[in-house]
Amino acid sequence: GIFCGGKSEVLGEGETGLRAGECGKEIERRKIKNDLDRMFIEVVKSFSSALDARDHYTVDHSKRISDSCRLIAERLYVKDGEKENIVLGALLHDIGKIGISDGILGKPTALTPEEFDRVKQHPLISEEILKPIAALKGCLKIIRHHHERYDGRGYPDGLMGRRIPLGARILAVCDSYDAMISERPYRGAMSARKAVAELKKNSGTQFDPRIAGIMIRLVEKGIFR
């Protein structure tokens, strides 16, 4: 008998060599595809790092929040496959900002409604950029929905509560906390104490209260500054 592509068949001697050759080619095609997917992921990670480095306000932002997402996912006992999707989604979540001008992203004053509408497109742009890479399929909803709010007043789809993917809820907390404690063009960095106060204030409205609670405990234990 011979096994290939999920099926097992009993073949005559004349067919065995032919089918074995076909299986070998299929295995080689899959290997090439997996290698290409990994290569594309590394290229996209590099683009994401370059995007973070466009100005000193966001250097290493994606790496920091991917680390914090991993810690929170571990405390929620998320399965390894989903956890890796969350971590990878965190690394790539802002790749869509490559389609938004530096003038908007680095503006030192309040954005106009039109400018904010443009910024709100970046989760959708990120999704479109990454969609062709099959290995990133598990990250797409996390990236698309990381600006949703627990109370349903976020974007792009206005999802509420547990309708928001778990990874996106984790990413929302980690992304917001890192943004708060980092300097921005329009404000200075918050202290960890003030950022924790904001997490508490917005728990159950902007943030999933369980996830916000985990982040607060991690900060209070000194695991995050």
pLDDT at residue 18, as a whole number: 60
- Torsion over CA: 133, 145, 123, 142 (sign): negative
- The set of long-range contacts for 159-164, using a CB threshold of 8 Å and a minimum separation of 24, is 161/208, 164/208
- Torsion over CA: 138, 143, 149, 151 (sign): negative
Q: Are 215 and 72 in contact (CB under 8 A)?
A: yes
Q: Where are the domains of the chain?
A: 58-220
156 cis-preceded (ω within 30 degrees of 0): yes
Q: Are 41 and 133 in contact (CB under 8 A)?
A: yes
pLDDT at residue 135, as a whole number: 84
pLDDT at residue 3, as a whole number: 46
Q: Which residues are the active-site residues?
A: 97
Chain centre to alpha carbon of residue 87: 6
Q: Quick: pLDDT tens for 111-163.
A: 999 999 999 999 999 999 889 888 889 999 999 999 999 999 999 999 999 99
Q: Quick: pLDDT tens for 4-58.
A: 555 545 555 556 656 666 777 777 777 776 776 677 677 666 766 666 666 555 5
DSSP 8-state secondary structure symbol assigned to residue 186: T
pLDDT at residue 224, as a whole number: 78
DSSP alpha helix (H) spans, the chain: 13-52, 61-75, 80-92, 102-105, 113-119, 122-130, 140-144, 166-180, 192-202, 209-220
Q: In 3D, which of 163, 182, 154, 152 has the Cα closest to residue 68? A: 182
Residue 204 confidence (pLDDT) above 60? yes
Measured N-to-C along each axis, helices 80-92 and 13-52 cross at an angle, to the nearest 10 degrees, of 40
Please state the CATH superfamily assignment of the domain spanning residues 58-220 in this structure: Hypothetical protein af1432 (1.10.3210.10)
pLDDT at residue 4, as a whole number: 53
Q: In 3D, which of 148, 155, 139, 159 has the Cα closest to residue 69? A: 139
pLDDT at residue 39, as a whole number: 72
What is the rounded end-to-end Cα distance, in angstroms, of the chain?
60
26-30, 64-68, 155-159, 188-192: segment of lowest average pLDDT: 26-30
pLDDT at residue 61, as a whole number: 82
Q: Which residue has the higher pLDDT, 79 or 100?
A: 79
Q: How far apart are CA 177 and CA 192, in angstroms?
A: 9
DSSP 8-state secondary structure symbol assigned to residue 156: S
Confidence of residue 171 (pLDDT cuts 50, 70, 90): very high
Residue whose structure tokens are 């109370």: 151
120-129, 164-173, 204-213: segment of lowest average pLDDT: 120-129
**Mean predicted lDDT score pLDDT of the chain:** 85
How much is the average pLDDT of 177-194?
88
